[in-house]
A and B are shown apart, each in its own frame.
Chain A
Amino acid sequence: MEYPKLYEPGQLNLLFNKREFFICIAQGIYTSVVLFFVPYAVLSDATQSTGEPLADYQTFAVTTATALVIVVSVQIALDTGFWTVINHVFVWGSLGCYFTIMFAMHSQTLFIIFPNQFHFVGRSHSTLLQPVVWLTIALATVICIVPVLAFRFLKLDLKPQLSDTLVRQKKRKPVGRSMGGVRGGVGSVSEGRLGARGSSRRSGYAFAHQEGFGELITSGKNMRLSSLALATFASRHSSSWIDTLRKKKHISFTHSQTYTISYSISPNQH
């Protein structure tokens, strides 16, 4: 509880609101367009070094799917704030799983049992040996990830959140204590940025957000503070504090869309 201000973005619903949702959608559309058109443009004229053309449906499918899995894994890796053993296992493990399952599905054994269902036999073995395919996947990854990196860097540089400056300060001090609330959980990739970088050795659950985008989409009460978040946190505060918070939040959303933490909240108004 050294830095109570770190709790603010969660309370003020700054991280899962409509604007973030549309930014996510826009990034998804951009990535999809890149992942389709780059392999399309490359493979429509490409041939192997043995002369056979690479423009067939199954090569295109394997290339696009592999590029997709790699881009998503890189994106997750960018989002992961704390790389514990579990994170490593799941990120590299999911990549490995993808390749294993793909090779298994394209194997001759399954084709012999069910020829009509597994008719991609031999595809991945031949396709993934072509340098053109890997160059295409690399190009698609670079085109998808570089804008994300640039935006993150700009955001960090121009409008650093309190948690980020905190981590920078800590990195400058000698590391007497370890990086505190380290994350052991797998599903916590998007929370790492905000919460767990506090120096508290308590679990990072205190910084956990509320329900995420599901609530936003299905119910439309996205502009109001979720009662769940307030109930867990504000149990020992009076209702007047909650009212003050609500009013301030309403003001902040009507005036600006940024999430700089610049005003203070006085918590004890009994």
Chain B
Amino acid sequence: MAKEKANSGPLARRPDNSAFKQQRLPAWSPMLTANTVLPFFYCMAVLCMLLGVWLLVTVQNTQELKLDYTEAGTCNACFAKRENASNALQPCNCTVVFPIEKAFKGNVFFYYGLRNFHQNLRRYMDSRDDAQMVGRKKNLKSPSTYCEPFEKDENGLPIAPCGAVANSIFNDSFTLVYHGSKGSTIHVPLYRSGLTWYTDKNIKYRNPKFVVGALQEYPNAFAGTAKPLYWHKPVYELDPHNPDNNGFINEDLIVWMREAAFPNFKKLYGILNRVSEPFTEGLPVGNYSIEISYNFPVQYFRGRKEVVLTTVTWFGGQNHFLPIAYLVTGGLILLLAVILTVIWWKFGKDGKNMKE
């Protein structure tokens, strides 16, 4: 009945009388009144301060040691040597000595750090071929043109791995030595695996397949390719004793290829092996020295190199910014809440003295 009537006459196109179409949906309308906003501010302030205190206490339990070795100890000779690019293939070893005053308890992580190296430059980050690193034969033989000028070597052979990121891999190596109280010299054992994210090691980087049963499988897989220009050895010789760490799935290569977001960064080099004495509890107090094979030249970009040793908690390493930021924010919110309360009390118009 209603439909017939609606089909003609002036009310023909009236919309339905439903809640949705007549905008009568049930709704909750929050309002910013004093008794909701002010307690909220106080609660937020208290919460931020508690969080800040808790995080600060957690961070105080970590220890960190940074050592800039660009020109320290005997490394200034190597520093001078690396200024000349024609010496690039000659090895240079140096030693830096340092003490540890307070024992590092727990798991200790060994990082190398670089300052003023912009891995976040756009053109640098684009200069890689992820399809090649995942093991595709087609990309192995013809890498992406983004890798220019690190795509082919002077003989026309494709470079594996191609690109500027792989080419500039950090190639210093370290050996940590502990000088015990009795004059003994113990090499500190470090795990050099387990440094990468699971998805990196198992999905993002895979070696190209080789013919099963062929001798010297890895060189066979990379046949027809050349090593990157700045490398000392080709990619299948990065760790010939461990096939799980050789080729594209080498952990140092994977760690380097994960570009850092900022110019001052650190990357994981090794984890303390706590199986044998005297490192079962961590690093004991005493004198240590690092023997460095110094290859990476930093003069060209006015950078610095450093070594970092830290312990970690659930929160990570030593990171003072977050707890202090929470404390400061909590303090500011408290101040704001007090000011708002005063203003509301003295000057607020909550409708009682507003003339209509």
Contacts and interface: CB of A to CB of B under 8 A. Distances in A.
Interface string B170-198: 00000000000000000000000001111
Contacts of A181: 23
A158 B349 contact: yes
A154 B343 contact: yes
Contacts of B310: 47
B237 interface: no
Interface stretch (A25-33, A82-90, A217-225, A240-248): A82-90
A235 to B, nearest CB: 19
A119 interface: yes
Interface stretch (B5-13, B214-222, B253-261, B276-284): B253-261
Nearest to A119: B130
Given A143-B329, A146-B336, A168-B351, A51 B27 contact: no
B48 A158 contact: no
B25 A86 contact: yes
A126 B197 contact: yes
B24 interface: yes
A57 B261 contact: yes
A7 interface: no
Contacts of A86: 25
B16 interface: no
Contacts of B203: 108, 111, 121-122
Contact of A53 (B133, B267, B325, B333): B267
Given A51-B271, A52-B196, A115 B336 contact: no
Interface residues on A, range: 35 or more
A201 interface: yes
A131 B321 contact: no
Interface residues on B, range: 35 or more
A58 B51 CA distance: 27
Contacts of B129: 116
A171 interface: yes
Contacts of A21: none
B134 interface: yes
A54 interface: yes
Nearest to B196: A52
B233 to A, nearest CB: 26
Nearest to A143: B329
**Which residue of A44, A54, A112, A165 has the most chain B CB atoms within 10 A of its CB atom?**
A44
Given A53-B111, A119-B130, A121-B204, A48 B316 contact: yes
7 smallest A-B Cβ distances: which pairs?
A122-B199, A82-B27, A60-B261, A51-B109, A47-B317, A84-B25, A47-B316
Given A44-B265, A179-B29, 11 more contacts: A47-B316, A57-B261, A115-B136, A122-B197, A135-B55, A146-B44, A149-B41, A157-B34, A168-B31, A171-B31, A183-B23
Interface of B: 20, 22-34, 37, 40-41, 44, 48, 51, 55, 107, 109, 111, 119-120, 125, 129-131, 133-134, 136, 144, 195-200, 203-204, 258-262, 264-268, 271, 310, 312-319, 321-322, 325-326, 329, 333, 336, 340, 343-344, 347-351, 354, 356
